[in-house]
């Protein structure tokens, strides 16, 4: 045989599970999109088509729904840990499980305060509107011994309408860009951060609180950095997270520079004093980097923030 099998994995992707939890009359929602990828002793199914070691992808789907009942969904991370542990521990041929989860956030709908019929009734507690801002993501990997948890978010669009410059750059024969001393800086954040929790003996982070705090620090760093380049802003966002969140050792970003070009209004006898912008689609600058706690190894793959 001139060819051999390399890295491989399989499972059911994009299982959309919604879990309603009742706290008295108050309902809570968890809305997830769960993807399972299993690896192990899978040579035969590739070489000969024998499924003797293959737990069907359909079964991995069933397990997601059954576990939502059996374990509940405390957080996306905790739910992924339950799933990964089960697949590795319950199936001899499976040596590694990777669970990816997207989470969609919901707010409560405020009902009419003038309508006493509903004040204090259970009806105010079961109506929701989907936030739509970022998508929260996590990836849990387990090999039977060690855990790796990488969480993050994507599609969070932010803008500073000033306090951004760009000048002093290299100029070669193809350079035509004019230097900017006051520009809009806007990006659609895709970020992944890796937890240093890796072992059942360690104390597990509070996943929900960690997410809220990490997101807050990241947004504040974006807002508070006077930017000379998007790279500088990126580094500030990453280091702010690591400096404030001891459970996180590494952060990676993909930050598209969503260009807002000042429109030339002079042909119409008008002065554009940083007021009117054209929001361009493509092309866009793309700035990507990893920020690490000093002394740790980088483990977030280069393209993970592009998934």
Q: How far is the CB of 203 from a copy of itself (least distance, A)?
A: 21
Is 71 among the catalytic positions? no
Q: Applying CB under 8 A, does 47 fall inside the site for a copy of itself?
A: yes
Residue with tokens 């939502």: 68
Q: Applying CB under 8 A, does 119 fall inside the site for a copy of itself?
A: no
Q: How far is the CB of 305 from a copy of itself (least distance, A)?
A: 11
Cβ count within 10 A of residue 294:
6
Is 259 among the catalytic positions? yes
Q: Applying CB under 8 A, does 95 fall inside the site for a copy of itself?
A: no
Q: How far is the CB of 201 from a copy of itself (least distance, A)?
A: 25
Give, in degrees to the nearest 5, the angle at Cα 163 between 177 and 135. 95
Q: Applying CB under 8 A, does 212 fall inside the site for a copy of itself?
A: no
Catalytic residue among 30, 217, 259, 290: 259
Give, in degrees to the nearest 5, the angle at Cα 45 between 43 and 51. 130
Among 69, 116, 145, 201, binds a copy of itself (CB under 8 A): 69
Residue with tokens 């929701």: 128
Q: How far is the CB of 219 from a copy of itself (least distance, A)?
A: 5
In the region spanning residues 168 to 207, those forming contacts with a copy of itself, defined by CB under 8 A, are 168-177, 184
Among 89, 119, 120, 157, binds a copy of itself (CB under 8 A): 157
C-alpha to C-alpha distance for 207 and 81, rounded to whole angstroms: 12
Secondary structure of residue 138 in the 3-state scheme? strand
Of the candidates 62, 81, 84, 78, which has an alpha carbon nearest to the alpha carbon of residue 17? 62
Cis check for the bond before 35: say yes or no (omega within 30 of 0). Answer: no
Catalytic residue among 57, 59, 111, 135: 57
Active site residues: 12, 57, 259
């Amino acid at each position: 045989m001139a060819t051999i099998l390399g890295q491989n994995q399989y499972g059911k992707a994009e299982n959309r599970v919604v879990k309603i939890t009742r706290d008295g009359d108050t309902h809570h929602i968890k809305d997830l999109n769960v993807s399972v990828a299993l690896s192990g002793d899978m040579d035969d199914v590739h070489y000969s088509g024998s499924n003797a070691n293959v737990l069907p992808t359909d079964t991995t789907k069933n397990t997601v729904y059954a576990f939502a009942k059996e374990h509940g969904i405390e957080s996306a991370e905790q739910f992924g840990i339950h799933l990964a542990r089960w697949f590795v521990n319950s199936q001899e041929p499976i040596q590694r499980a990777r669970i990816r989860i997207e989470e969609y956030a919901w707010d409560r709908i405020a009902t009419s305060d003038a309508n006493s019929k509903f004040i204090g009734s259970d009806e105010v507690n079961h109506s929701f509107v989907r936030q739509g801002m970022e998508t929260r993501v996590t990836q849990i990997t387990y090999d039977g011994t060690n855990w790796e948890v990488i969480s993050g978010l994507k599609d969070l669009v932010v803008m500073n309408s000033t306090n951004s410059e760009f000048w002093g750059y290299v100029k070669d024969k193809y350079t035509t860009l004019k230097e900017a001393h006051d520009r809009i800086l806007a990006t659609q954040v895709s970020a992944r951060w890796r937890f240093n929790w890796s072992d059942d003996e360690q104390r597990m982070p509070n996943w929900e609180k960690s997410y809220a705090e990490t997101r807050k620090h990241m947004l504040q760093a974006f807002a508070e950095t006077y930017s000379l380049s998007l790279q500088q802003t990126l580094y500030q966002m990453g280091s702010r997270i690591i400096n404030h969140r001891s459970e996180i050792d590494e952060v990676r970003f993909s930050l598209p520079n969503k260009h807002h070009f000042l429109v030339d209004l002079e042909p119409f006898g008008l002065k554009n004093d940083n007021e009117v912008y054209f929001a361009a689609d493509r092309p866009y600058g793309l700035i990507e980097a990893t920020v690490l706690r000093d002394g740790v190894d980088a483990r977030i793959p280069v393209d993970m923030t592009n998934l």
